[in-house]
Structure 1
Amino acid sequence: MKNILFLTPHLPSVQAGGAKFTFLLLNELSKVAKIDLIYFKYNNETEYIVPNENINVLRVMKNSTLIKVIHTLQHPFTHPIFSVRFDFALLAFIKHIMKIKNYDLLYLDHSQMFMYGKYFPKIQKILMAHDVMAQRYERCGNWLSKKIILSKEKELMSIPNSTVFTFSEKDNSIIMKKYGIKAYSTDFFLNKDIIEAIPNNIERKIVLMGKWDRPDNLDGLIWFLDKVLSLLDKDIKILIYGKWMPKNIMERIKNDSRIEYLGFVENPYPNIANCLAMISPLFSGAGVKVKVIEALACGTPVIGTKIAFEGISKDFSAFMTQVNNSYAFAKTINTMSISVHERKEFKQKFLQKYHDKSIVKYIVLSGTEQ
């Protein structure tokens, strides 16, 4: 078995897209490797529960706004996206552990962990880029932040003995174009609940899902409420899943009988499989959207903006409707009509084609060579 030191900036959890991938990756990887885990968490979050004896939690790092500000101030010439989780005490701890234990691989999860790789040039590393920061800040940053991002991301992805992974060939192409670095892609994990969610009885409901403290998601939801909701047929119900909804938005939607805010739900997939569509009005952000992949795996069509579908194969375009304005959103929702039979056929096709790239297989079989 390989020995892996695994650093992630978030609590591994099924409650959010990126953290969910990390959670499921740890489950799968720990079946074939021994893992020492270091993760960050806020005080209001629960502890990570290890699935088996092959995962050992070495350290849980405290996370808070104050701590992130301190980390940022310690690196005034580095963009916060790379420095916000960089802790010198943790670095000293890792250096100490590296002298004691012989790791085969250092796994750095998210761009926020990449800076640690600079201090361990000799060990083999995987840099898991959940988003390509050059693209994310190209859409929302000023010229100075873009310049800093491009410079630092290239520097960190170029660390010796590193292999960069993303979630799509599109992101790989961006990394090659901007930095001249070859990256590899991996698929998301689809759990048993998603695979077993079967379309049987389609209802006049639509679903929005997200981690609502993320501006990308929240801005899209507010836009939907402002611009699209009033244009929908009155019999259409709206289900909203996801935690951390701001109080002012909660107040706004609780008085609308058509909207049901469900918060975090362990298994929303039977509802998703039997709704008219998932709605994804995204106007910023980067990377492949986990919720879109999960909806398609349920046999559910997705109506969204161009950004919602980035990095997803055109093989699945029959169930991905790209719209650009509120009227197109509303018209597509109001007239959506795909039979149960068609949905089941699509679900089967999606599940057969989607899983062909595995980061676990890469780690176990080749480690550093694709």
Structure 2
Amino acid sequence: MTHDASPRRRALYVSAFLPDESAPHAGGQAAFQHRLDLERAGYEVTSLICTTEPFPQAGFVAPRTTVFLQTHGAALAGYLANLLSSKMNEIITWPVLDTRANLAFERALRRELKDGGYELVFADFTQVMPPVLRALQRSTERPRSRCCAHDLFIQKLLRGRSASARWLTGPVVRAERDLLRAFDEVITLSDKDQVLAAQLYDLPRVSVRPWTAPRWTRGVQRHSAGVQAAELLFFANFGRPENAEAAHWLLTEAWPAIRRAVPDATLVLGGAGSESVALPVGVEGIRRMGFLDNPGELFERCDLAIAPLAQGAGVKFKVLEALACGVTVVGTPIALEGILRSPMTVEASRERFADAIISLLSHRRHADATEQP
């Protein structure tokens, strides 16, 4: 009897977020799925993570994983170290595209590429692409390279209203194009981003990774007796500026009109940072739940999920999670972009957002009354 002693294929996984299926934000959840995909493909995976968020104790982190906590000082040191060897366009776009310029992180990348014998290097999120490419350029090894662009940053800038966003648009287009073209394979998370990346940046190989519903969604059981009439759920990571801005707009602009039309309407803010969302003076009918390990209970009882976003790019996991739980979503065009429309998705501009919710709640209430014996 013979044994196959050939070593397993090795992959170096590099991410801007710690892979965590229960992460309070979509980044950590997506990172978990990508790392899992590599393991399921038969790779022995080593991970280097450079994150801006405090990370758990070592026992929680996956095997063969090294985590670097990005700090302002580390970012500045990394920027200055790369300044002399950078092109002007890279210097201009550093605060947008190269936010993981951490010296210790980059040294670890170079060591792994020198000693690791990797078949594949996977850069997950645009923020880690520049240091990965710098390490690859210095390495005598040339493994196959893959990246996942969760957002196309050019979309964020085109939607920005500030003078700096308009000024950065041209440099970011060039820098993002050069980053993506440098990888052998590019992955996006929606058909829309696949087409945009291929056409805007003339990329020959762009694929789409289908979204995977988090495990907690599988346990959601919605029953008519448990659904609370006129309860709206805005579930998001409110530490992200686009979600915080959406919450502020909702509470100050749309919510008063909704409450006037539907006095018993309630709004639940759920997810990381929701407990800190500031409430305007006199606002009523709001519950702030904070981060929940299992948010399924929120989706079991809410009448509708809402996503009043005016900023951001890429597919919105918060919308997909609600749909996976069987909840109808009222969202702006930006919130629903890249998501196949169905009877469970109601698109409304901000100008019509409150009216769309009021109309939908009134229609449901009338239908319930008609069905009563």
1:232-251 to structure 2, matched below 5 A, reads 232=258, 233-245=262-274, 247=276, 249-250=277-278
CA distance in 2, matches of 1:135, 1:34: 35
AA partner of residue 273 (structure 2): W
Verify the 8 A CA contact 2:11 2:38 in the aligned structure 1. Answer: no
CA distance in 2, matches of 1:260, 1:185: 37
> Match for residue 186 of structure 2?
164
CA distance in 2, matches of 1:240, 1:331: 18
2:136 matches 1:120: yes
CA distance in 1, matches of 2:280, 2:36: 37
Higher mean alpha-carbon deviation, 180-189 vs 66-75, is at 66-75
CA distance in 1, matches of 2:269, 2:148: 29
The structure-2 alpha-carbon separation of the partners of 1:336 and 1:71, relative to structure 1 and needing over 3 Å to count, comes to: farther
Higher mean alpha-carbon deviation, 135-144 vs 40-49, is at 40-49
> Match for residue 262 of structure 1?
289
- Which one of the candidate residues 185, 196, 206 is aligned to 2:208? 185
Scaled by the length of structure 1, what TM-score is found? 0.82
CA distance in 2, matches of 1:48, 1:234: 49
Cα-to-partner distance string for 1:78-119 (whole Å, 9 max, x where unaligned): 332222102344323222222222111111010001111244
2:364 partner SS: coil
Verify the 8 A CA contact 1:176 1:183 in the aligned structure 2. Answer: yes
Identical aligned pairs, as a percentage? 20
CA distance in 2, matches of 1:266, 1:43: 17
The structure-2 alpha-carbon separation of the partners of 1:333 and 1:112, relative to structure 1 and needing over 3 Å to count, comes to: same
1:228 partner SS: helix
Runs of 4+ in 1 over 6 A off after TM superposition: none
1:219 partner SS: helix
2:220 matches 1:197: yes
Tell me by how many angstroms 1:198 deviates: 2.3
The structure-2 alpha-carbon separation of the partners of 1:208 and 1:253, relative to structure 1 and needing over 3 Å to count, comes to: farther
The structure-2 alpha-carbon separation of the partners of 1:254 and 1:38, relative to structure 1 and needing over 3 Å to count, comes to: farther
Higher mean alpha-carbon deviation, 89-98 vs 224-233, is at 89-98
1:142 partner SS: helix
CA distance in 1, matches of 2:298, 2:10: 40
Verify the 8 A CA contact 2:315 2:336 in the aligned structure 1. Answer: yes
AA partner of residue 46 (structure 1): P
Tell me by how many angstroms 1:245 deviates: 4.5
| Alignment RMSD | 2.6
Tell me by how many angstroms 1:224 deviates: 0.4
> Match for residue 46 of structure 2?
36
> Any gaps of 5 or more consecutive residues in structure 1?
341-370
> Match for residue 246 of structure 2?
220
**Which structure is richer in relative contact order (CA contacts within 8 A, separation 6 or more)?**
1
AA partner of residue 244 (structure 2): L
Tell me by how many angstroms 1:24 deviates: 3.3
CA distance in 2, matches of 1:46, 1:258: 35
2:83 matches 1:56: no
Verify the 8 A CA contact 1:207 1:279 in the aligned structure 2. Answer: yes
Verify the 8 A CA contact 1:15 1:242 in the aligned structure 2. Answer: yes
The structure-2 alpha-carbon separation of the partners of 1:45 and 1:102, relative to structure 1 and needing over 3 Å to count, comes to: closer
- Which one of the candidate residues 317, 320, 336 is aligned to 1:293? 320
The structure-2 alpha-carbon separation of the partners of 1:48 and 1:336, relative to structure 1 and needing over 3 Å to count, comes to: farther
> Match for residue 5 of structure 2?
none
Scaled by the length of structure 2, what TM-score is found? 0.81
Verify the 8 A CA contact 1:71 1:83 in the aligned structure 2. Answer: no
Tell me by how many angstroms 1:313 deviates: 1.8
1:84-163 to structure 2, matched below 5 A, reads 84-115=99-130, 116-120=132-136, 122-140=142-160, 142-159=165-182, 161-163=183-185
The structure-2 alpha-carbon separation of the partners of 1:27 and 1:179, relative to structure 1 and needing over 3 Å to count, comes to: closer
Tell me by how many angstroms 1:49 deviates: 4.9
AA partner of residue 87 (structure 1): N
Rg larger for? 2
The structure-2 alpha-carbon separation of the partners of 1:179 and 1:193, relative to structure 1 and needing over 3 Å to count, comes to: same
- Which one of the candidate residues 320, 331, 340 is aligned to 2:345? 320
